[in-house]
Amino acid sequence: MIRLTGIRRTFDVGGQDVDALAGVDEHVRPGEHVAVMGPSGAGKSTLLNILGCLDRPSAGSYVLDGDEVARLSEEELTEVRRHKIGFIFQSFHLVSRLTAARNVALPMVFAGVGRAERRRRVERALADVGLAERAEHRPDQLSGGERQRVAIARAVVMGPRILLADEPTGNLDTRSGSRVLDILERMRSEGLTLVVVTHDPTVARRADRIVALRDGKVLLRTPGHDIARVMELISGEDDDGEG
């Protein structure tokens, strides 16, 4: 499903070229759950942005579902983001003045989905994350865990095949975070491909495998249960910023 070959992403910093990603090769299979870890500045968020077609690599090849992403037009990339990829962020990114239901409906509004179909999909998506009874509540009337579950419902309402999550439990308490992870794992078991950026070993441990980055390069690939080895290799920095 996802194949990266020699991916580089270079930024101009003070007149000098700095590699956020320095030759990443990776293959994510359909239905796989991959955790991406690494210290601050390792390139995690940059990698996620490229996977989500929010950014383009400076060099290398990104093949998604058999298509070379570099050859896609802006219109085609918009369609990929709209129909193939769902996004979940640490800070939820909900529209504060809209109810949970209307937040979930937003991607369908932009995609031109009819009102009746939007209503049906919203009801199902909120029910799937256990929030059917909270549909008419605004974000400020919801707990952090509930807000993240609304964000998950919004991310999957268009039926994507890939879900990209950037620190999805970073702003949640342990109980709420565990519930969010349970929902993501259930969706993965139903066929969704899941890529999660995290600094939390309890989150990474649930993945099929972990990809550890440092200085824009893959440091290690290992099964999720081998989290102790990953933490030993990337220890020394607490990653609470952009990666």
Annotated domain spans of the chain: 94-155
Q: Residue 195 pairs with which residues in a beta bridge?
A: 34, 164
Q: How much of the chain exceeds pLDDT 70, in percent?
A: 97
Q: What is the mean pLDDT of residues 87-115?
A: 96
Specify the pairing of strand 16-28 against strand 2-13. Answer: antiparallel
- Tokens read off for 31: 């239905």
* 239 has pLDDT over 60: no
The reported pLDDT for the residue numbered 242 is 44
Q: What is the mean pLDDT of residues 25-48?
A: 95
* Closest-CA residue to 122 (of 138, 108, 112): 108
The C-alpha atoms of residue 176 and residue 172 are separated, in whole angstroms, by 6
* 14 has pLDDT over 50: yes
The reported pLDDT for the residue numbered 236 is 55
* 122 has pLDDT over 70: yes
The C-alpha atoms of residue 217 and residue 195 are separated, in whole angstroms, by 17
Q: What is the mean pLDDT of residues 39-44?
A: 93
| Cα dist from 169 to 21, 72, 204, 225, whole Å | 25, 33, 11, 19
Residue 208 CB contacts under 8 Å (≥ 6 apart), including other chains: 32, 33, 34, 223, 224
pLDDT digit string (tens) for 156-178? Answer: 999 999 999 999 999 999 999 99
Least confident of 44-48, 111-115, 233-237: 233-237
pLDDT digit string (tens) for 58-70? Answer: 999 999 999 999 9
The reported pLDDT for the residue numbered 233 is 86
Supply the DSSP string of 158-198, one letter for each residue.
T--SEEEEESTTTTS-HHHHHHHHHHHHHHHHTT-EEEEE-
